[in-house]
Amino acid sequence: MPTTTRPRDVQVAEIAKGTTVIRSRIWAQLRFEAEYSKGKGTTVNSYLIQAREVALIDPPGGSFTDVFIEDLQQHEYYQQINYIILNHINPNRLETLKALLPLAYRAKIVCSRPAANTLKAAFPDQELPILTVRAGDLLDLGEGHELKFITQPTPRHPDGICIYDPQTKILFSDKLFGSHVCGDEIFDENWKALQDDRSYYFDNIHASQSKQVEDVLDKLNLYRLKILAPGHGPLVRYSVSRLIMDYRDWCNDQTQKTLTAVLLYTSAYGNTGLMANAIVTGLSAHDIQVTAINCEVTPPEEITEAIEACDGFIIGSPTLAGHAPTQIQTALGLILSAASKTKLAGVFGSYGWGGEAIDILESKLLNAGYPLGFETLRCKFKPTEEILRNCTTAGSDFAKTLRKTQQARAPIQSLGNEATSDRTELAMGRIIGSLCVITLQRGDTQAAILTSWVSQATFTPPGITIAIAKDTAENTLDHGGDQFVLNILRDGKNLRRHFQKISATGQNPFQDVEIDRSRNGNPILKEALSYLECTVQSRMDCGDHWLIYAIVNTGKVLEINGTTAVLHRKSGSAY
């Protein structure tokens, strides 16, 4: 049994021919974040592969630097290390790296490109010998150890990779398949006793990024795995297939939850990220499906899709030079343009001095009419244990309010009707549409509306119908005789992303876009697949949309070999 009276130490064992695990062990609770709260300690697992060339995988964090380096010297001369492989970067690991590099002066650092950018920022005055790798790249250490790299970017670790060694059939899986348990057992002989700890670890680390985890699991189908070598806890030898199956089941459990929340954030120094993780813990404890989105690495169209589909959202930001980062400003614009004002919202963030970014987020959402699910959370510098507890409580409060709000809105109907409604929304979501941009100019005013609700309506005369949301169509195409251009977008172009961003920020819609002029004076997008010059004939009031019927006056295909961009939806309740 672990005991808090034992000092930190390092445990070393050979796990396969030429492969050694170096387990930096702490028997007490490592930190006060929720993932460590079971109080069973943890291990930080590093690995040494000794073949014709030598690779050290994932040195531990700064609290283990001295004892790790001392023990490493007993097993390998520092100058014999050819590669230091980093499955991900964090500030703690940088401390050990700074102490290790002068000793292992021949070593190249192997990591993903995002991790390389982090390293360059951490060592601004030093030219590091960095070897960046991508999915499928190989690193031949000799004697059959031809390491293959598998990318596994997630919101928490956008720089993440894992490594497969075909010689030993070991997957060095980093954050996957771990647990926070400290003990003398190297492997999982008693794996059934670990099930609760494994599940708890998944809930705290991976539940909010289950989609990315599923993507990695699919990649692992290509490999024969004998050992899973995670970054924390016992190595997996006796329950490899079972644990992979458990991960799939746990990912699937997330999709079965009836209420969804999106948590958007960026984290300059890791402090906002710690708050985000604590909020996710509170949400997940109340059976809410949480999607965490790191806005630094997520394209706007994915953010828009998540915002439209969720029941509530929470946004967090650091304050940099008195402002929110550009990615958060973009995300806020997408929220204001895409999220229904009935969605529950929340705001949090960290700062060093003024915290202006948090105030801006809060005021923008309140002024737009969004109800807040908890009192805005603010943290100066690194969050304390009390602040993280408050974040977890806020996530719990948000979940309770979200559930009450949804119950209050639900109409009184039989269970059969609810099921029919859900099935109907899913069925309607299978209707696909061509992605188009309506462009028009009235005097000095220019407008562009991104839409996929377009259909041919008549042969003679040639005509189309377009459904436009009423809040979008205010004072637009509301009279017979109004003229516009319908630009049909080409698949593979970035025009969709451009107009999503423009609609969110309110900028000139044709900024940085090449245009021509139609016969009726309206803009034509030169990168479109084709365009139609149209004249409004009539408009019908259809619930929350206007249905516009327009005659097509003329048109032209601009790219004869292109294909039409198509929008696929999951539900008929959102665009």
Cα–Cα distance, 159 to 152 (Å, whole number): 8
- For the chain, give the percent of residues with pLDDT over 70: 92
Q: What is the pLDDT of residue 424?
A: 83
Give 427's pLDDT tier (boundaries 50, 70, 90): confident
273 and 199 assigned to the same domain: no
Cα–Cα distance, 484 to 480 (Å, whole number): 12
Q: Which of 372, 342, 343, 378 is nearest to 358 (CA)?
A: 378
Cα–Cα distance, 235 to 232 (Å, whole number): 8
451 and 396 assigned to the same domain: no
Q: What is the pLDDT of residue 525?
A: 95
Specify whether the CB–CB gap between 555 and 532 falls below 8 A.
yes
Instruction: Give the 3-state secondary structure of residue 293.
Output: strand
275 and 242 assigned to the same domain: no
Specify whether the CB–CB gap between 408 and 423 falls below 8 A.
no
Specify whether the CB–CB gap between 60 and 24 falls below 8 A.
yes
Q: According to DSSP H, which parts of 139-289 are helical?
A: 195-205, 210-220, 240-255, 271-284
CA torsion 235→238→239→244, rounded to 10°? 60
Domain-located, residue 211: yes
Name the residue with higher pLDDT: 529 or 36.
529
Residue 26 parent element (H or E): strand 19-26
Cα–Cα distance, 296 to 337 (Å, whole number): 20
Specify whether the CB–CB gap between 531 and 515 falls below 8 A.
no
Q: What is the pLDDT of residue 420?
A: 54
Mean pLDDT of 309-323: 92
- Answer yes or no: is pLDDT of 313 > 90: yes
Long-range pairs of 446-449 with CB within 8 A, sequence gap ≥ 24: 446/508, 446/509, 446/510, 446/523, 447/476, 447/509, 448/499, 448/502, 448/503, 448/509, 448/510, 448/523, 449/473, 449/476, 449/503
Q: According to DSSP H, which parts of 107-160 are helical?
A: 113-122
Mean pLDDT of the residues in the chain: 88
Q: What is the CATH number of the domain that holds 529?
A: 2.30.110.10
Give 415's pLDDT tier (boundaries 50, 70, 90): very low
Specify whether the CB–CB gap between 500 and 472 falls below 8 A.
no
220 and 285 assigned to the same domain: no
Please write the tens of the pLDDT for every residue from 96-155: 999 999 999 899 999 999 899 889 988 988 899 999 999 999 999 999 999 999 998 888
Amino acid making up residue 419: A
267 and 339 assigned to the same domain: yes
Token reading at 435: 């992605």
Domain-located, residue 502: yes
Instruction: Give the 3-state secondary structure of residue 455.
Output: strand
383 and 501 assigned to the same domain: no
Q: Could you say which of 227, 254, 281 is where a domain stops?
A: 254
514 and 374 assigned to the same domain: no
374 and 518 assigned to the same domain: no
Q: Could you say which of 343, 376, 409 is where a domain stops?
A: 409
209 and 266 assigned to the same domain: no
Token reading at 52: 């014709």
| Cis peptide leading into residue 325 (ω within 30°) | no
Give 293's pLDDT tier (boundaries 50, 70, 90): very high
Cα–Cα distance, 184 to 174 (Å, whole number): 20
Give 417's pLDDT tier (boundaries 50, 70, 90): very low
Q: Please tell me the least confidently modeled range out of 229-243, 370-384, 418-432.
A: 418-432
Place of tokens 């790790």: 68
Domain-located, residue 3: no
Please write the tens of the pLDDT for every residue from 474-513: 677 888 899 999 999 987 666 777 787 666 555 678 888 8
Q: What is the pLDDT of residue 482?
A: 92
Q: What is the CATH number of the domain that holds 96?
A: 3.60.15.10
Name the residue with higher pLDDT: 354 or 528.
528
Cα–Cα distance, 450 to 457 (Å, whole number): 20
C-alpha distances out from residue 353 to 26, 316, 358, Å = 35, 16, 12
Domain-located, residue 424: no
Q: What is the pLDDT of residue 503?
A: 60
Cα–Cα distance, 281 to 56 (Å, whole number): 33
Cα–Cα distance, 15 to 28 (Å, whole number): 25
Cα–Cα distance, 525 to 516 (Å, whole number): 7
Q: What is the pLDDT of residue 533?
A: 97
Token reading at 64: 């283990």
Residue 202, burial from CB neighbour count under 10 angstroms (0-12, 13-18, 19+): buried
177 and 320 assigned to the same domain: no
263 and 199 assigned to the same domain: no
Cα–Cα distance, 403 to 85 (Å, whole number): 45
Domain-located, residue 574: no
Give 413's pLDDT tier (boundaries 50, 70, 90): very low
Neighbours of 382 (CB within 10 A): 11
Residues of the domain holding 88: 9-254
Q: What's the structural domain count of the chain?
A: 3
Please write the tens of the pLDDT for every residue from 263-274: 999 988 889 999
Q: Could you say which of 202, 220, 254 is where a domain stops?
A: 254
Residue 375 parent element (H or E): none
C-alpha distances out from residue 295 to 97, 324, 334, 344, 417, Å = 28, 12, 12, 20, 38
Q: Which of 289, 488, 265, 268 is nearest to 361 (CA)?
A: 265
Q: What is the pLDDT of residue 405?
A: 77
Instruction: Give the 3-state secondary structure of residue 387.
Output: helix
- For the chain, give the percent of residues with pLDDT over 90: 54
Name the residue with higher pLDDT: 188 or 155.
188
> How are beta strands 515-517 and 433-434 bridged, if at all?
unpaired
Bridge partners for 261 per DSSP:
290, 312
Cα–Cα distance, 200 to 412 (Å, whole number): 37
139 and 81 assigned to the same domain: yes
SS (H, E, C) 467-504: EEECCCCCCCCCCCCCEEEEEECECCCCHHHHHHHHHH
Domain-located, residue 425: no
Give 30's pLDDT tier (boundaries 50, 70, 90): low
Instruction: Give the 3-state secondary structure of residue 525.
Output: strand
Give 416's pLDDT tier (boundaries 50, 70, 90): very low
Neighbours of 249 (CB within 10 A): 10
- Answer yes or no: is pLDDT of 93 > 60: yes
DSSP 191: G
Domain-located, residue 120: yes
Q: Which of 78, 10, 81, 1 is nearest to 44 (CA)?
A: 10
Q: Which of 35, 1, 28, 9 is nearest to 392 (CA)?
A: 35
Domain-located, residue 536: yes
Name the residue with higher pLDDT: 318 or 493.
318
Please write the tens of the pLDDT for every residue from 192-251: 999 999 998 998 888 888 888 999 999 998 899 999 999 999 999 999 999 999 999 998
Q: What is the pLDDT of residue 342?
A: 86
The pTM (predicted TM-score) of the whole model is: 0.60
